[in-house]
């Protein structure tokens, strides 16, 4: 009979270990859920979003974009591969006008990617071409091409860009 008593004891130990493993597994799942909830709460208190795009449309971008609509008409956009030609005139900010011994008068723009781009007379944006750069006036003139419209007298407009001074206005 000692054999059956030993077998019963082994069975009790096995059941006890199995119960302990189930208990530990449920505790770890509970702790993991608790830590995920705490992380979500931390993100919410820090002002970050829990939304993950995962191939879906960004819900915060408008469905209809009225971009480029200015009183002078819509700009015709033909983006280039590299440099300032990838961006429209309105998306860039004129930062500096300087003279260079080898290149003459040069303008530096800040692109929407927060990088600096050197521009010379004749260089092209996605929607226009630089006509002149004036160091004295602190101004760059860009001929912006407009969408063809039969009512338009000119398919372009000359857009003066000024450096913003510390007061927030151009010269």
Backbone angles phi, psi at 55, to 5 degrees: 85, 0
Say what the pLDDT of residue 166 is.
47
User: Does a structural domain hold residue 66?
Assistant: no
User: Does a structural domain hold residue 53?
Assistant: yes
User: Does a structural domain hold residue 169?
Assistant: no
> What's the predicted TM-score (pTM) here?
0.50
User: Does a structural domain hold residue 168?
Assistant: no
- Cα 144 off chain centre by: 25
- The DSSP result for 107-133, as a single string, is EEEE-TTS-EEEE-TT-B-SSEEEEEE
From the list 114, 95, 115, the residue with the least C-alpha distance to 106 is 95
User: Does a structural domain hold residue 132?
Assistant: yes
Query: Residues 40, 104: one domain?
Result: no
Among candidate residues 10, 26, 61, the one where a domain is terminated: 61
Q: What is the pLDDT along the chain (171 residues), one digit of tens a residue?
A: 556 778 888 888 889 888 888 888 877 776 666 666 666 665 555 555 555 666 666 666 655 544 444 444 556 666 777 888 888 888 889 999 999 889 889 999 998 888 999 999 999 998 889 999 998 888 999 998 876 665 667 778 888 988 866 454 444
Query: Residues 88, 146: one domain?
Result: yes
Say what the pLDDT of residue 76 is.
62
Query: Residues 8, 49: one domain?
Result: yes
Query: Residues 158, 92: one domain?
Result: yes
CATH of residue 142's domain is 2.30.30.830
Rounded distance between C-alpha atoms, residue 19 and residue 37, angstroms: 27
Tokens of 108: 């530096």
Q: How many domains does the chain have?
A: 2
Say what the pLDDT of residue 2 is.
55
113 burial (CB, 10 Å; 0-12 / 13-18 / 19+) is exposed
Say what the pLDDT of residue 152 is.
65
Say what the pLDDT of residue 72 is.
45
128 burial (CB, 10 Å; 0-12 / 13-18 / 19+) is buried
Domain span holding position 115: 83-162
Query: Residues 33, 97: one domain?
Result: no
User: Does a structural domain hold residue 42?
Assistant: yes
User: Does a structural domain hold residue 75?
Assistant: no
């Amino acid at each position: 009979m000692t054999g059956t008593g030993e077998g019963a004891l082994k069975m009790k130990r096995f059941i006890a270990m199995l119960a302990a493993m189930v208990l530990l597994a449920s505790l770890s799942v509970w702790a993991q859920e608790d830590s995920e909830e705490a992380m979500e709460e931390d993100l919410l208190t820090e002002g970050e979003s829990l939304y993950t795009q995962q191939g879906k449309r960004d819900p915060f971008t408008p469905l209809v974009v009225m971009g480029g609509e200015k009183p002078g008409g819509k700009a015709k956009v033909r983006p280039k591969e590299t440099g300032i030609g990838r961006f429209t005139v309105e998306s860039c900010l004129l930062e500096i006008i300087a003279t260079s011994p080898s290149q003459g008068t040069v303008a530096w723009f800040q692109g929407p990617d927060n990088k600096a781009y050197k521009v010379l007379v004749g260089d092209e944006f996605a929607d226009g071409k630089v006509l002149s750069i004036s160091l004295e006036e602190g101004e760059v003139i860009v001929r912006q091409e407009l969408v063809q419209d039969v009512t338009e007298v000119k398919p372009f407009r000359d857009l003066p860009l000024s450096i913003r001074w510390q007061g927030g206005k151009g010269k």
